[in-house]
Structure 1
Amino acid sequence: MTKPPSFLSKRRTMLMAAVAAPLAVAGLGRAAAGPAPKTIRISAKKFQFIPAEVKLKRGEEVILELSTQDVLMGFSLPDFKTRADLVPGKTQTLRITPDKTGEFVFLCDVFCGSGHEDMSGKLIVT
């Protein structure tokens, strides 16, 4: 004949089940959400963006990691109503999900010197 489980053993089992159930549900939710968004690094320096051309797919979420080492700059993607201030030595992140196809200009919108007017890049969405 086996001994009945003690009160503490029953309590421990119930507590573990109460904690495990929400964690299991949370894990299923993450798996169903799909893959993590792709990260694209864009560096700004007098008077260019590197890379100057970025290719994305319509409807696919991406994270843009923006940085500069020179001076304060801006990043503006007007067709997607997106912008950020770029501070030397810091990384700024923007999440975008392109909802239209075509070629779109991104540019520096903070005056950064005599070549500022030509500082732009191209976002190509297919």
Structure 2
Amino acid sequence: MKKIKVKKYGLELVFVVIVIAAMIPIVLDAVANVKNQGENQGTRVEISMSGFTPPVIRAKAGEKITIQLVNPDNSQHSDGGGWHQFASDELKIDYKLPPESTKTIQLKVDQPGEYVFYCDVCCGGKENPSMQGKLIIT
């Protein structure tokens, strides 16, 4: 009788070990995702018909800057078809965002200073103060 119990528990033990082994990659991936959420996810910048929110981004010279660009406008806008732009002549960048989209960009600026960024697609273009913002590097 004892031999049967040993075999029964032995099979259950093998099953438990297999289940735990199968769960290890899933748990490790979940832990890594939670850890990454605590790290710098960057600055969220919304670009809409009313401009940039926030209009000022601050960063330190030489550090990687992560910016999540968000365009909430839809394609029904008559001015620019809902498209927006995140551009800077000084930084030589030009990103265009289709309607209702998100794009994450990364920059590294080595020189301290104030760098103007703008949207020249709609709403009066880069001459409109609300369609401009500043990247301040210290």
**Aligned to 1:56, what secondary structure does the other structure show?**
strand
Q: Give the % identical residues.
A: 11
Please, which runs of 5 or more residues in structure 1 have no aligned partner? none
The one of 19, 26, 41 equivalent to 1:23 is 26
The one of 40, 53, 56 equivalent to 1:54 is 56
Which runs of structure 2 are paired with 1:75-90 in the superposition (5 Å)? Answer: 75-78=85-88, 79=91, 81-87=93-99
Aligned length: 116
RMSD, aligned CA: 3.1
In 2, Cα distance between equivalents of 1:117 and 1:25: 46
Letter matched to residue 39 of structure 2: P
Say if 1:55 and 1:116 are closer, same or farther in 2 by CA, change over 3 A.
Answer: closer
Asked whether the 8 Å contact 2:47–2:84 carries over to 1, the reply is: no
**Aligned to 2:30, what secondary structure does the other structure show?**
helix
Alpha-carbon deviations, 1:73-117, whole Å to 9, x = none?
331324263412443xxx221212331153232222x3x47x346
Asked whether the 8 Å contact 1:57–1:98 carries over to 2, the reply is: no
In 1, Cα distance between equivalents of 2:94 and 2:116: 12
Say if 1:97 and 1:56 are closer, same or farther in 2 by CA, change over 3 A.
Answer: farther
Which runs of structure 2 are paired with 1:1-126 in the superposition (5 Å)? Answer: 3-4=5-6, 5-7=9-11, 9-33=12-36, 34-35=38-39, 37=41, 38-43=43-48, 45=49, 48-51=50-53, 53-58=55-60, 59-68=64-73, 70-71=77-78, 72=81, 73-78=83-88, 79=91, 81-87=93-99, 91-100=100-109, 101=112, 102-108=114-120, 110=121, 112=122, 115-116=124-125, 118-119=127-128, 120-126=131-137
TM-score (norm 2): 0.61
Please, which runs of 5 or more residues in structure 2 have no aligned partner? none
TM-score (norm 1): 0.65
Say if 1:117 and 1:63 are closer, same or farther in 2 by CA, change over 3 A.
Answer: closer
